[in-house]
Chains A and B, each alone.
Chain A
Amino acid sequence: MLLSLFVVNKSGGLIYHRNFSSLAKLDTNDTLRLGSMWHSLHAISSQLSPVPGCKGIELLEAETFDLHNFQTPTGIKFFAVAECKSHGVDRFLKRVYNLYADYVLKNPFYELDMPIRCELFDLQLTSEVTLTMN
């Protein structure tokens, strides 16, 4: 079950954040901190890997939650916090990337790397989440 979704731009700034349940409430400063922390962790992990050609962390499993990460070729990171052993989160993140390419990038009023404030993106995301939860 999905708990929250974060989108981080290629410089590490948080551009979108959404909670899907009342469990995962963080205040604004903490979400920004989480975004940039994850960005740095991801960069460090791809350097630390003993295997060459590593692209960074894809899944972080903790005791009470899982964090799934999807990095696009342009450096944008979509990551979602979900309950342990959730299925379909990776497919969900790819769908979010699809929605981003449609309703954010094709919007003439959106500036690149700025916080996402597009109504259509929010609407489509809501229906995508209800689809994934069922």
Chain B
Amino acid sequence: MSQRGSVLPSLVDRHILTSKTRNDVGVGAFAFLFSEIVQYSQTRVSNVSELERKLADVGFDVGVRMLELLVHREKAGKRENRILGILSFLHTNVWKNLFGKTADSLEKGTSADDEYMISDHDLLVNRYISVPRDMGHLNCGAFAAGIVEGVLKSAGFPARVTAHSVASEGLSRPKTTILIKFAPEVIERDEKLGS
């Protein structure tokens, strides 16, 4: 019931989807949900690598759906078939839609031909998480790595994706790097298309 004399209808009468609420969720709400996802997965695994695998699986499902949604919304159905194309799609569009800003850098690996890295100085999923010392090298950015893997697999670029913390000068916290290792047939195909 709206009150007399007030300019706006009461909160329960207003339309739930304004242009402001349509795309944004509060950071706190997401952080609590993600924290619960991590705790839920922790009860079902027995070691750190399995926990990262579980988080990556959750992210994989998100990635598959994000690809469909974003290609429809932002690229008018045009399909990427080059490695650089899909990587810059990830770096700009996917990151912007998920985390509100583009990723900080996109690099080609120096040691191998099939490795690429996307870095973020302050990955949203890791922002409030302090990993206790006895969990060692756990990185909850495995969730973001899973999203990347989901996007790449459904776009036709199968790859192995992992998340790592890399200390870097000038930053108080280590930056998170998502390492993408493409399957050999993807590299071959890309070379053939390139020439």
Chain A residues proximal to chain B, CB less than 8 Å: 102-103, 105-109, 117-121, 123
Contacts and interface: CB of A to CB of B under 8 A. Distances in A.
- Tell me what chain B mostly uses at the interface: helix, strand, loop, or mixed: helix
Nearest to A120: B130
Contact of A106 (B28, B131, B132): B28
A107 B128 contact: yes
Contact of B135 (A109, A119, A121, A123): A109
Nearest to B31: A106
Interface residues of B, number: 17
Contacts, number: 37
A102 B36 CA distance: 14
B126 to A, nearest CB: 10
A106 B130 CA distance: 9
Contacts of A109: 38, 129-132, 135
Interface of B: 28, 31-32, 34-36, 38-39, 42, 128-132, 135, 140, 172
B35 A107 contact: yes
Contacts of B35: 106-108
A43 to B, nearest CB: 30
A123 B173 CA distance: 10
Given A102-B128, A103-B128, A108 B38 contact: yes
B28 to A, nearest CB: 7
A97 to B, nearest CB: 14
